[in-house]
A = this chain, B = another copy of it.
Amino acid sequence: MAKPRVRVPVDELRTLVTETFVAAGMSPEHAASTAEPFIWANLRGIDSHGVSRVPRYLELFASGESNPAPKIEVHRPRPAALIVDADRAPGPLALTEAMRAAIAAARETGVAWATVRATTLSGAIGYYTGLAAAAQMIGMGIVAGVPNMGYHGAKGVGVATSPLSIAIPAVRHADLILDMATAGIALGKIAQYRINGEELPAGMALTAEGEPTTDPSVAKIPLPVGGAKGSGMSLAFELVSSGLAGNPIVAPYHSGTPEGRRHRQNATLIAVDVSAFADPGEYATNVDDTIDAIKALPALEGAEILYPGERGAATYAERERDGVPLAPKSWEELAQAAAGLGVAVPELAGAVGAEQG
């Protein structure tokens, strides 16, 4: 039985995180942009990419792996090609600026592609593709990072759990936001198997020594989804994102040097202006009708038919109204980090709920 969570009103949480980033050396504008994707992730129920990550950012600032005062440069070598040099900016800041630039360029060129070089911890990538959907565009995104997943057929760590996101604007329904890792299972899910005393399905994880296991207590390295499919996508995402950024990650990692293992990420964000191709009203009607058709399929026993992002949109509405539930440990770590930088931490009057963590 997990401890009850605390509920933090979203505006207070946003203010706290923004002020913490300012206290850590960010400009107010950069701090607000950086805070937003964390808040969004918590509102959407993606707590693993929410404000619990903020203390990690402060560590990355302290170690020099991330830069609180980056000079982000947006180059546009050709009309539809953007290179965003992130200068080790936090991912939420760099990717937000990159997607905004891609959206602006796509209004002219129909499609725009932003390669983001040298960023750190990108957070929930669906936030950035969702910015495109909110602008009536299709948003696509992939991220390349330091290897933490197996490669099909190999022992140990090979490639990263690099995510893919596709966001599609809808009207009657909430926007479709696919946001998936290329791993077959998340580390958090492995922990749930361990807590429940259940064996993992075969082909989901390796031990720390790199051997296959179905024992969740020794499973440390997730395996790619669909075997060669997941690791093939991850490898391709590295060559697309890190390759075009001129900032390779996978090859240096396996060279075994300390520099090769330093935390860093590269990303690709694409904005596609629907109005360049189709009537936006007809497009939206087709999206809504297609979602209706999927939702109307007969469900398997015990299953619920959801489209990507549907549950997140419902959670968002609920948490925006009732506050963001946080595990007490997450809240304490965030509050301590903020207080340590001299930021005023709000009192959570009546904020203790009875939910499970």
A-side residues, CB < 8 A to B, are 77-81, 83, 108-113, 115, 138, 151-156, 158-159, 164, 166, 168, 176, 178, 180, 184, 201-202, 210-212, 225-226, 228-230, 232-233, 235-236, 238-240, 242-246, 248, 250-251, 253-255, 272-274, 276-279, 282-283, 286-287, 289-290, 292-294, 296-300, 303-308
Contact = CB atoms under 8 A, between A and B. Distances in A.
**How often does this chain occur in the complex, in copies?**
2
16 contacts: A78-B276, A81-B109, A111-B111, A138-B239, A158-B294, A166-B240, A228-B306, A232-B308, A235-B294, A235-B307, A242-B286, A246-B283, A246-B286, A248-B290, A250-B294, A251-B286
A1 to B, nearest CB: 28
Contacts of A168: 236, 239-240, 243
Contacts of A158: 294, 297
Nearest to A304: B153
Contacts of A304: 153
A171 B235 CA distance: 17
A351 B110 CA distance: 52
B277 A81 contact: yes
Contact of A230 (B226, B244, B272): B226
Contacts of A294: 151, 154, 158-159, 235, 250, 254
A229 to B, nearest CB: 5
Given A232-B308, A239-B290, 7 more contacts: A115-B277, A158-B294, A180-B232, A238-B290, A251-B286, A254-B293, A254-B297
Given A254-B293, A308-B228, A109 B240 contact: no
Pick the most buried of A158, A184, A229, A250: most chain B CB atoms within 10 A of its CB.
Answer: A229
Contacts of A156: 297-298
Pick the most buried of A108, A153, A211: most chain B CB atoms within 10 A of its CB.
Answer: A153
